[in-house]
Each structure stands twice: as C-alpha cells, then as structure tokens.
Amino acid sequence: MKFGWNLGNTLDAQCIDNLDYEKDQTASETCWGNPKTTEDMFKVLMDNQFNVFRIPTTWSGHFGEAPDYKINEKWLKRVHEVVDYAYKNGAFVILNIHHETWNHAFSETLETAKEILEKIWTQIAEEFKDYDEHLIFEGLNEPRKNDTPVEWNGGDQEGWDAVNAMNAVFLKTIRSSGGNNLKRHLMIPPYAAACNENAFKNYIFPEDDDKVIASVHAYQPYNFALNNGEGAVDKFDAKGKNELDWNLGIMKKRFVDQGIPMILGEYGAMNRDNDEERAKWAEYYMEKVTAMGVPQVWWDNGIFEGEGERFGIFDRSNLKIVYPGIVAALQKGRGLEVNVVHAAEAKPKPETTEATTEVTTEATESTETTVPINPSTGIRDISSKELIKEMKFGWNLGNTLDAQCIDNLDYEKDQTASETCWGNPKTTEDMFKVLMDNQFNVFRIPTTWSGHFGEAPDYKINEKWLKRVHEVVDYAYKNGAFVILNIHHETWNHAFSETLETAKEILEKIWTQIAEEFKDYDEHLIFEGLNEPRKNDTPVEWNGGDQEGWDAVNAMNAVFLKTIRSSGGNNSKRHLMIPPYAAACNENAFKNYIFPEDDDKVIASVHAYQPYNFALNNGEGAVDKFDAKGKNELDWNLGIMKKRFVDQGIPMILGEYGAMNRDNDEERAKWAEYYMEKVTAMGVPQVWWDNGIFEGEGERFGIFDRSNLKIVYPGIVAALQKGRGLEVNVVHAAEAKPKPEPTEVTTEATTEATESTETTVPINPSTGIRDISSKELIKEMKFGWNLGNTLDAQCIDNLDYEKDQTASETCWGNPKTTEDMFKVLMDNQFNVFRIPTTWSGHFGEAPDYKINEKWLKRVHEVVDYAYKNGAFVILNIHHETWNHAFSETLETAKEILEKIWTQIAEEFKDYDEHLIFEGLNEPRKNDTPVEWNGGDQEGWDAVNAMNAVFLKTIRSSGGNNSKRHLMIPPYAAACNENAFKNYIFPEDDDKVIASVHAYQPYNFALNNGEGAVDKFDAKGKNELDWNLGIMKKRFVDQGIPMILGEYGAMNRDNDEERAKWAEYYMEKVTAMGVPQVWWDNGIFEGEGERFGIFDRSNLKIVYPGIVAALQKGRGLEVNVVHAAETKPKEEKPKECWSKKYGYECCSSENTRVVVTDETGKWGVENGQWCGVLDYTEACWSLPFGYKCCTHCKVLTKDENGKWGEEKGEWCGIIEEKC
C-alpha cells in the first residue's frame, strides 16, 4: 500500500429522516451534497499514486427487520459497483460498516448489535466471497458509547467489552463464510478507533490470525487537524509536532513494536485557509508513518467551503486535485516521486444543497467562547481546563506561612510569629505587585495549620491566624492574580492506614472552616487539599508509594472534594487541586491516583524538580550543567505527565518546580526556558518554588529578594517569560544577590527530598566487601564484553565429558581462555566481563547435583583472570535445558538452581563486590509461540519463582554473599513490555540489578533473515529509542539499577554503520546510567551471527572503529590499542591436488568425504567429483543442499552425520569444531 483516500460523506450518508428510502434505495449516496460516485474518480486519484480506497458505508435504512436483516438488493448492487470502480483497477479497497446507530458500545444493546452485525456481514461476505486480497473488510467504524462523557475519551469497561465482543463476532462471521473469506484481510478497531492509551490497553487483538489489521483514526495534532472550536490553530508548530509525535509513539508502541499490522483508516487536517501549513504537516506526518510501515487513508468528506470541517482535497465533480501542494507532500513523505496530475486551477465552488447542512462530525466542540457569569455569586462557570489557559506562570511564597516552629516559638503568645520563623520577612502586598510586573500571575500560598487550630472534635482555627492568611491571600487576589491556598507542612495527614481516620476527620474540619472563610471568592482563588501526602520516613516515601499510601491519599482527596463541594457560596464551583501520592512525578503514583470523572473543576497537582541531579539533589551525583542527559530525564518526566494527564484531558498544574542555585545562573536560565517551553506546549502552568534562600550549602531556590523587592536572577525570569511565549521584560532587577542576616532558626528549614551529601563508602573490615547499593556500584562500570561461546558452549552429544570435563570450553571453535585476553580488553577501557557458563554436563545427579571439581576449578581460573586485574565479573548460568520456564518442570528447576548456586556461592564467598552473580540467562518457554514474544502467565510465574529461589539461595549462603550484587532477568531477559510488566523486582534489597538483553534495532542488530538491513537509519534510531524508552521507564525511572547484559550488532560488512550505531547506543545508555556488555561469540566469518570484535587467538581488536565508538559514546578518551591490521582470514588453500586427475578441488566449506582411494579423499560438488582439501573447516552437508551450522546444538543424527537447525533450515554440525 502507498497511501489512501476515503470516499467520505457518500455511501455513508444517512438521510432516513428526509428521504424516502423505499422509493429510492440509492438516493442517500448524494444526500449529503456529494455527486454520484464514478470510476473516473478513482482513476484520477490512482494517477496521483493513491492505491488504497476506503468506502465508508452506512447500511441502516438499507436492510430489513429481524431475524434476517436482509440487505436491499439495489443497495448491495450499488455498493458492489462502487467497490469495483477501484478494485478492478488494481487498487486496495476497504469496505466497512459506518454511521450506524445500532452498534453503539453499550451492554444493554450488545446482544442485538451482535445479531445484526453477524447477519449484515454474512451477506456482505457472500457477495464478495470470490474477491482476492485487494478487498479488505473493516468490521466497525468508530464503535463507542455515544453521547456519554467517555465517548471520545478512551472508553470504560463497558465500552471496551462491547467493542471487543463485536470485533470477535465480525471475525468469526467472516472466517466461517465461504470462498476467499477464510484468507480475507480484516480490520478491527479499538474503542472508537481512537488513538488513546486506555483504548489501546483494553483492545483485544487476535494472536492466532495473521490476516487481521488494527484500524486506528488519528486527526493529530487535534487543535490543528480537527478542532473547530476554541483552541483551534492554523499553524503546525513545535507544540503540534510534539503532540503528533506522542500519538505516533503510542501507536508504534501498541502495534508496530508488537508486530501488529495497522492502518490509519482516517486522518486529515481541516482546511483553515492554511494550505502551506497543511502541506508541511502532511509531509511530516506521512514521513513518520512511512518509517513505521503504516499506510494512512485521508478523510475526504467533499467539503471545501463554509465554517465546518473542510477536509476535501479532491473535486469529484470536475475530477481535479484541489490542493496539489498537499498531495505532493504526501507523495514526498511516502518517498515516492512527486508528480501531481489533474490539478485544479482554483478551489471548487460546490453547488448549493439543502441537505449539506446535515453533515456533522461528532468530536467537534462548539465554537462558542463566551463564558457564562453567575450573576448571584460573580463566579464564572468554566471548566478547569479553560481556567488554566488564563494562567501565565507562578511563584510560591515558600518557607513563610508554611514555616513550622512549634518547638521553639510560643504559639499561644503570638499566633502569627511563625510567618517569619524560617528567616523570611513578613509578607507584603508590594511583593506580589513586583512579581506581577514581571508577568507572574499565579501565586501559591503554602500554609501550615498545625499549631494554629484547637483540639478535637472541632479543630477550630485560631482567628488571628485565619485573618493573617486571609490578608496574604488578598494581597494577590485583589490585584487580579490567581491564588492557590493549601494545607502544607502537617504531621497529621501522613498516608498511613492507622492514622487515616483521624486525618480525614481533621481534614474535613479544617477545610470546612477555610471554605466558609473564602466562600464568596471567585474562580481566582483555588483550594489545594494536600501538599505532598506520603508515608513519611519509609522506604517508599519518595519512590511512588504502595497500596497503603495510595489508598490513604485517594481517601483524603475524596474527603477534601466532598467537604468543599458541600460547603456554601461559590465553593460548589470552586476549582480544586488534588495530588497523587507525594504529588510525585512517578508512574506508580500516577497509575494508582484516582481522579474524579464527574467534576470538571478539579486539577491534578504535581511537583517535578527535574532533572533531579541538576534541579534538587544536594548530595552525591549532583551536577551544575543542564546537558543532554538532563534534557532526556526532563523530557521523560514531562512525557509521563503528558500521558497521564494532558492526553487524558485532565487539567494539571505544576505546583512546585525549580532548580537549586549552584552558582550556575546561565545553566539555570537555559534549563528554565527549555522547561517552560515544554510545559507551555502541554498547556500546563508551573509555579516556581521560592524558599527565600540565597546563601549557604542548602537548597537555594530563591529568585526574588522580598526584603528589597528585587528580582535577584533576572536571566532566569527572562527565560521563563521567553519560554512561555511572552514579551521578555524583567523589571525591578537586583544589581547583586542579597546577603541575608544570620538567623538561628533558619537552619530548621529543610526539604524532604534531599539526600545526604555523604559520599564515603563504608568498608567491612572483616570481609573486604563494600556495603554499597547496586545503584552506586554500576556507576563505577564503563562498558563490558561477553566471553561468548566458550564456557557456555554445550557439546554433550559429541564430547566425552567424563573423559575431559574442560574440553567443552573450545568445542564451539573459540580458543582456550587466557588472562591476556582480559588484559588487552582492559587496555581498551572495558572493565566489565560477563562469563556465560553452562553447567549442564558438569554436575551429577539428584539430590546433590554436585558440580565437577575440575569444571568448577576452570571456571574459577577464568573468573580470576578478570577479577584479579580489578575488573567487574558477572558469572551466570547460561545454556541450560532444565531451567525452561514451564510449570511442569518448575519444581525440578528450582531444586537444581538452588543446589548449583549453593555450590557456586560457597566457591566465591570471599570475593568482594567486583564479582556479581547472575541467576539465569534468558529463561523462557523454549520452542513455543511466546518464546521470544514477552511470555505468558506460566512463563512469568516460572521466571519470577526461579529468581526468588536464586536470591534466597545466595542471601542465605556464607561469606560476602549477604552483600553480593545479584542480577535477575525478566522473562527471556527480553526488552519487552509484557515481560517488564510481569517482572517481580525485590523492593527490600538494594543489591539487586535487573538484567536485560537488547539487540536493537532488531533488523540491523540481530536479524539474520528476511527484513535484515545493514544501515542504521532514522527508522532504526526510532526503534532503538523506543526500546531504550521502555527500559528507562521500567527501571531507571523507578530507581532500579540495570545492566544490559547482552547487546551487539551483527557484522554485515558494514563497519562504519556499526560504529555509528555503537556510539549512538552507548551515548544513550550512558545518559541513562546503564552499563552494557557486548556479546562477542568469537565469530568473524560465514553467514551466521558474526558478533566477534576481538580476535582472541592473536589478542587483537578486529574492529577498532567500533571500540572507539563505544569509548566516545561513554564519554571516555578515545584510545584503541592492540588493533588488528586486518580482519582475521581463513588459511590460504593448499595446492589443489586433484587437478592432475582432471577435477577441481571442493570449495572451502565442503570437505564431506564421499569416497577415499589411493589418490586421496573425494567429495561431490555440482554433480562432479572434487578433491577434498584437508585444511578447510568441514562442511559436509553442502552436497545435501544445506549449509553447516555456526553452533553445535544437535537435534538429530542419521547415516550422514549430526544435524542442527538455523533460521528454520537444517544445518550440518561440524564434528571438528564441536
């Protein structure tokens, strides 16, 4: 497929109310103003390289009653004719069910819908049963819960279930009909065919049918492409690109990266007399989906004039392309030759038609922008989404009304003294005026109420305190600013179940009084129920929480909402802010956050000091540069906020953010502009945390000198203005930073999230192992190398293990390992070595499974080669057959695992943190459909269970193993979302590391079959970035240390491309703080997986350009030593001895001896005798039509030899190698 066009508003037109369908069944085709369809329409479009045509068709009014629902013959004949116009010219045609009322996604109408659906599609299928693959059936158009709040917002359980059920009926109906329908390609949509994460997550796609396509509609970015009301824009700008990219990203993640074929059945950009912008958008969009391998079909409704949705690009009456620039952009974006023919000279003037006004699009919002004013109260009845559009940017009055000095102030004597007890001056109205002069128009007033209210049951707020709070609120409110008033540094509202009931009681009483005090204030006063509610002083305080914490926060939020909504005055329409757990920008906190669906005046409150090491961290790891790594971290955090809130239509305010002063004003200004630009594009206001601190070693977030009413850092304020898209104009700027007077109580002020600045790592003198976390340990790693196809080689079938336990080390063709190998690699800055080790064949029978002493001794020697030279060593269990992830073998696997690891742990118990144990390699359900596709419940459970046994075994063994760093993989060690989601990682052990393998992008790095590529292009970068993104999301951003235990790019004689890829990949993982370990299997020649980069026999770096790229990407000095002059080559052939007998010698791969006589050994090649040269590596299977294997895994034996399998083909096992 190239690209496509919808015959919109034609066969899908629905005019039952004003047409006599009995009189003329086909009249509806033109009832929405388009002309009757002709074959020439499709021919003109095909001349312009369109080759996919979607025929939206409404069947209602054209079929009879139950139980047969028989389609009218004339209508079916007309649909058939239109299909043929395109089909018979060689195009792809998509025929569907479109504007129906009977297939809405409600449970109460579902059975009837399924019944009609089955009957209609049975008849359509019969009509077209002999058509080939160019005719595609699309079961439903945009099935949804019409006229409900979730119609266009991703649906709910009822809607998802209904859509999935109807899709299933459609698939079953077509597959059970006759003719070609068994192999017919079928399209099924998620809920509403919407590009929406909830719709995608709850969409069931069949795994057992390779002729099904996901159907998605994406008019993106919404305000540019589809919105016909408030917020619509006519420019395709950076904000629009970001929105479009995000939508493409979730489609890629859900479909493309899961191997699910997808068609964008509808897309387009409404005409706003902005042809150049639409052309720019069209090329960008088409280029992106082309890279994803997705066809897209333009929605053309034939409308060119008026105020409505003008999606027409082709004048059907005059057979002209109305917007040739857009069609040219589509051609260019698709990578086709640009050649637009049949172009119109001017836009068409459509004939007047009475029925044209009937046309509507469901998702369009009203263009009405007037906001109703409630005359009785003076508060505007607008949604929070509308309200936050009026906000510019904000400032926190930090460490002031929220200061808490109960232990060293007499609150009874002076209730308002706490305002200045953390060192800030008393608040004045002029402070807000100066800030408003600098375009701040949102002010958050953090307020601590503890110490200012009485005892149960009334918890009455002190009048003087409430009066002072009121005064401060008024300083900003009466000057026209937005004010956010909250509950801040409290101790009674921590998120514990045991204190929850008391917290809810106090919360309700306090907010009842605040609500009464300000009940007549309009929408400029916002209440924020809680500040950062969390499980204080627990391991999950800042790490996203747990079930107890989530439940407590949601419960307190609910009490707050109910309290305000049930109070008097304007509070029924008051805009309210509620936080997730800890107000944290954290996926777990977001996932477990309950946001009300039935109240459009609620705002999510999130705090994000990002990137952490630049913005907030005051300890080890802190940085003063806002670099690429920082940008990536910030972008990721913004991405999860966008995904959870913005894209779900949930209004959000960044109630706290900022970057601590490290005497790095320029970097902070650069960061501030970037951050502000990004959140502005998201439509999110942000409020700077200003604690009034400018000096000292603590958290210096001050930007405004309150005593002197001066902007201390005008460059930062200018950056905020610029990033917000405002005129840059900073007034009241200070000449120099203020020097605050010393105060005894200033040191009381703290910020909860700050880590200790202590960097010394304690050494355990009795054992010599450092007691550090895995997160700290991996910071010391540069990059690594796998000793592949060596100790992991497995040749049980053709080696006598009893005779020589260590012979397997070289049975896959690599030389015996030496210490010098590691030294050469360490000279090239590798400092991590993974020793893949297969133990099968080297241990005895149950119940002891005792490891052979000679094998264990050899493994020990190899470990020592690297360990004793100061490198990190990862020792594992590799190519085993007993630890596959099946429930039926699980108990035995656990038993063997425990016994083997007990012995290994004992052997190395005194080794320090440089020796890491990896419990399993790639545990999976071997030889099943889910082997490499992320697994299933059985597989996930088995892997998690084996990981648990491994952890328990090591932790309960002696010596240093209680502090040993351990690696555990998800299912198959796969970089796969399902594997990640179902992976259990221990929360109570800080010396565990996630082990992941990622040969990405697959077609460049690993694929040795169809689809393989030798260029690392934009498509490859996108795929690699996506995989890195899900790793970052699952591990790095959750604070879980991770090592890429295997990665690499197979040699395709593309050294420069591999070097480019290596640098890019290394740069990205370095920014994530992840070490990676190259898979080197020692293979340089042949057709197989050539991952070798180091010639172990000659101790030479074979590909110095790749190693240099790794060094550079890691940020190290580039210095490659011990480089080979050329790649290792096979020995030169000996003289062909058989020529003197009139025969050529056999090729170098072929030494299969067919017969031996007094002259020598003879083989057969191309039907002729050939002389066998004994220098070559024997590939005896070539005469039988099969190449030799690059491995030694025997599947079967016959009279010819031993056979294995590669890429779905038999291959001969080379005895000499194995």
Which residues, at least 6 apart from 348, have a Cβ–Cβ distance to it below 8 Å?
Answer: 304, 315, 317, 318, 320, 322
**Three-class HEC string of 1150-1178:** CCCCCEEECCEEEEEECCEEEECCCCCCC
CA distance 468 to 463: 9
CB 462 within 8 A of CB 417: no
Residue 1123, CA atoms < 13 Å, CB-side half-sphere = 11
Is omega for the bond preceding 221 within 30 degrees of 0, making it cis?
yes
Give the β-pairing of 1160-1165 and 1155-1157: antiparallel
CB 812 within 8 A of CB 1076: no
Q: How far is CA 767 from CA 528, 762, 866, 961, in A?
A: 52, 12, 20, 10
Among 496, 523, 493, residue whose Cα is nearest residue 506: 493
User: 648 — phi, psi (to 5°)?
Assistant: -100, 5
The DSSP string of 500-552 is: HHHHHHHHHHHHHHHHHHTTT--TTEEEE--SS---TTSTTTTTT--HHHHHH
CB 1041 within 8 A of CB 778: yes
Give strand ranges (E) for 1111-1153: none
Q: Which helix (H) or strand (E) holds 654?
A: strand 652-657
**Three-class HEC string of 1030-1046:** HHHHHCHHHCCCEEEEE
CA distance 1088 to 1050: 9
Give strand ranges (E) for 436-499: 440-445, 482-486
Provide the 3-class DSSP secondary structure of residue 717: helix
Is omega for the bond preceding 67 within 30 degrees of 0, making it cis?
yes
Other C-beta atoms within 10 Å of 427: how many? 20
CB 1089 within 8 A of CB 1190: yes
CA distance 166 to 145: 13
**Partners of 834 in beta bridges:** 786, 874
Residue 717 tokens read as: 């304020």
Is omega for the bond preceding 1001 within 30 degrees of 0, making it cis?
yes
CA distance 701 to 656: 11
CA distance 21 to 991: 74
Other C-beta atoms within 10 Å of 217: how many? 23
**Partners of 783 in beta bridges:** 830
Burial of 1139 (0-12, 13-18, 19+ CB in 10 A): exposed
Other C-beta atoms within 10 Å of 366: how many? 8
Among 793, 843, 848, residue whose Cα is nearest residue 816: 793
Residue 418 carries which DSSP code?
Answer: G
Helices (H), 98-154: 110-127
User: 1192 — phi, psi (to 5°)?
Assistant: -125, 20
Residues belonging to the chain:
1218
- Indicate which residues carry an active-site annotation: 922, 1046
Residue 982 tokens read as: 């179902």
Among 633, 544, 571, 607, residue whose Cα is nearest residue 398: 607
Among 341, 236, 322, residue whose Cα is nearest residue 286: 236
